[in-house]
Structure 1
Amino acid sequence: MSSPPNKSIEIIEDSMNIFFEESSDEEIVYSNHTYKRLDSVTENKDIKEIPVRLSQRHSLWAHLPWNAGIALSDYFDSGAVDFKNKNVLELGAGAGLPSFIAALNGAKKVLLTDYPDKDLIDNMLYNIENAVPNSISENRILGKPHLWGKEPEKLFEYLENPTTEKFDIIILSDLIFNHATQDKMLLTCANCLSDDGIIFVTFSHHRPNRMAKDLYFFELASQEPFNFTSEKFNERKMHAMFEDDLGPEEVRATVHFYLLKRKQN
């Protein structure tokens, strides 16, 4: 397995505590974001908006409606992806917007996961209960904590046939800038994806000077033990999420869309 760009080494403990800040004990203040569905939707078109709750400030960045999640949700809601009878897994789900769109478009089971932080998981469960009607979410949308790379096989417990099924679609929305955990993320994906499944990866280069480290994710994904192919299939210009960050605004405002699939023997 080759080294990351610039031969830099990022080390992370199993607990991930040296990478993620600890959540504050202060009382959490929430804000709300309303996602407006496309006018052209054909599935559950009576549901025109999806309200999600965000913690106003969170050390794991769950307080933001990320461009990559909004752009991917629009893509899913355009009818470009067949979700019928598919099992869907989202890693680092945060508010879970792409997962809700997958459910509205016919997914059989949708599992939202995020870092095992009480505030994160509590808010994720709140959104599952409130973002879409019970007729959509009941027995179909679940939320669970998951530490990337740790016992991914336990995620199968929430499928209808845990011994025979895996996930047909995995969602990675603005996660690959977590450079130190790219291998852990891919380990979960490699264990959880069905043989003919698809991984949707969307992201922006929030720090253009670290673009090479962002893109190293796809080189890493192609190597053992992951063995994925990758293909860029779209990009979309939005607004830069962090106005004060360094680097060209156009670069920081662009959302990139990639597909990962298992290599065929």
Structure 2
Amino acid sequence: MTTALCLENSGDDASKKKDHDSPCFIRQDNFEFCGYSLKIAMGVNLGVSAYVWDSGIALCRYFEKEKISFTGKKVIELGSGTGIVGILVTLLGGAVTMTDQPDTLKQIEYNVSTNIPTASRHRLKVRPLTWGEDQTNFPTDYDFILGSDIVYSSVTYPSLIRTLHYLANQGTTIYLSSEFRKGNGSLSFHEVLLPEYFNCLVVDRLEDKDITVYKMTRISTSPEIGLRA
């Protein structure tokens, strides 16, 4: 049986009052990327958002392997989940906006407080974003858009495309790390739907896990999206 522990946000005050809104976690795992040691807690009752998925690890490993620097770059991450990718990118110099559904934000904020030094937190924001609805609340001048294992339900694909298309400008680089699963249309999403709107290049592949990392840019002549709902 898994025991859930309620953890309080860390702070600098010597005495801390118990925060009854502190998130509860199933466990906390350690990861090493780019010389950084990350401690990532995974929450209770958050569904698919409560796990560090292999696609997220693959994207972090890709950044490590390619020695990608995000210094001075403006980045938004979609479906941040536990926050592992956005946290690493912040540590690599990015000014990062991490987004997810409102009930996932406390998990992200806790992991941010655990892993990001206070002096660097001004470069990181955590905000709610519902694909297809809230994207117009965000700017369109991002250097990078990131997503890992966000292509898992065909119901969300039109909204995801709409959000990507809105947020990306001609100079934006998009990295998507996806695990292909049977029955959810993820292969068709990447091979048929995405190429209508984006230039798509496979930059990494983990054959044993059926995970592919894509590097994408917006097609200048792609149709505007009143996209199929």
Unaligned runs of 5+ in 1: 1-26, 157-164, 238-249
1:33 counterpart (29, 35, 45): 29
CA distance in 1, matches of 2:158, 2:71: 30
CA distance in 1, matches of 2:165, 2:66: 26
Partner SS, residue 194 of structure 1: coil
CA distance in 2, matches of 1:186, 1:176: 10
Once the two structures are aligned, what percentage of the paired residues are identical? 22
CA distance in 2, matches of 1:116, 1:220: 28
Q: What code does the residue aligned with 1:152 have?
A: Q
Query: Is 1:228 the equivalent of 2:201?
Result: no
Deviations 1:62-120 (A, max 9, x none): 2211001011111113344341221111111011111112112121x201100122xx1
Deviations 1:223-254 (A, max 9, x none): 3xxx21212121125xxxxxxxxxxxx4xx23
* 1:1-265 correspondence runs (5 A): 28-37=24-33, 41=34, 45=35, 48-59=36-47, 61-107=48-94, 109-117=95-103, 120-136=104-120, 138-156=121-139, 166-205=141-180, 207-208=181-182, 210=183, 213-218=185-190, 219-223=192-196, 227-237=197-207, 250=208, 253-264=209-220
Unaligned runs of 5+ in 2: 1-22, 222-229
After TM superposition, give the deviation of residue 193 of structure 1 in Å: 1.5
Tell me the C-alpha RMSD between the 2 structures. 2.0
After TM superposition, give the deviation of residue 31 of structure 1 in Å: 1.2
After TM superposition, give the deviation of residue 181 of structure 1 in Å: 0.6
After TM superposition, give the deviation of residue 264 of structure 1 in Å: 4.1
CA distance in 2, matches of 1:96, 1:78: 20
Partner SS, residue 195 of structure 1: coil
For normalisation by structure 1, the TM-score amounts to 0.69
CA distance in 1, matches of 2:170, 2:135: 16
Q: What code does the residue aligned with 2:186 have?
A: D
CA distance in 1, matches of 2:45, 2:206: 27
For normalisation by structure 2, the TM-score amounts to 0.79
CA distance in 2, matches of 1:79, 1:231: 15
After TM superposition, give the deviation of residue 222 of structure 1 in Å: 2.9
CA distance in 2, matches of 1:116, 1:221: 27
CA distance in 1, matches of 2:79, 2:201: 21
* Runs of 4+ that moved beyond 6 A: none
CA distance in 2, matches of 1:184, 1:116: 17
Deviations 1:11-39 (A, max 9, x none): xxxxxxxxxxxxxxxx94431121112xx
Aligned length: 198
